[in-house]
Structures are given as structure tokens and as C-alpha cells.
Amino acid sequence: MTKGKAPPRAVRYDDLRFAPRFEYGEMAGVAAICSADDGSELDAGWARLVGARFPWAIRYDEVLTVFEGSLRLHVGGEVHELGVRDSIWLPAGSELVYEAEAALVHYAIHPSNWQAAS
């Protein structure tokens, strides 16, 4: 085990507790798998979007993969339609709008401490 990092652990989807993300309340709930709290440079987890449409400017590199439903991302004047098993890479500095009727999305971001680095 690497010094300063949490030990490996399995995370069961059925045990996850989704919490509202920022000011978007029930439109976006997240459940973390790992984060800076674990001493990780990677932040990964699940996001559940319901009746969602909201803007966001990302300050980290991110990969999203849709597991259920569909996700529409408005980025740089383009619209990216993602269905089940589709992924997208978003570089730091991207300004976007998330839109979904209902979607379950896995995310991975780097660096995990993006808020402290800003």
C-alpha cells in the first residue's frame, strides 16, 4: 500500500448513497468511489441525473461513461448525444451544459483536488 493512501476497497453499487451535487439539488446526485480524501489524485464515482439541465465549467480533465439512459452535453457550440456504453473525454477548461431526462453516468476526474488548485 502506498503511504498516505487509503487501502483498496470494493464499492458495491447497491450500497451507494447519492447526495445532491452543488446547487442543482435533485437534478444531479453523486456517489464517490475514491477522492482526495483517500489520498488519491483520481476522483471517480457515479452521477445520477434526473430532469437535468444545468451549466458547468470544468477545471479538471474528465471522462464520462453512460451506463443507463442518455446524456446530452452542449460543449463549445456542439451537442454530444451519449447513450449506454458511450464515453466522452472533456479537457480542463471546458464550459458545458449537462442535459438528461434520466441517466446513470460513471465519472473519473483528475486532479481530485481541483477545488484546492483553483
> Does pLDDT of 82 surpass 80?
yes
pTM listed for this prediction: 0.90
Do the beta carbons of residue 82 and residue 63 sit within 8 Å?
no
- How many CB atoms are closer than 10 A to CB 82? 19
- pLDDT attached to residue 26: 82
Domain ranges of the chain: 40-117
- pLDDT attached to residue 90: 97
Look up the CATH architecture of domain 40-117.
Answer: Sandwich (2.60)
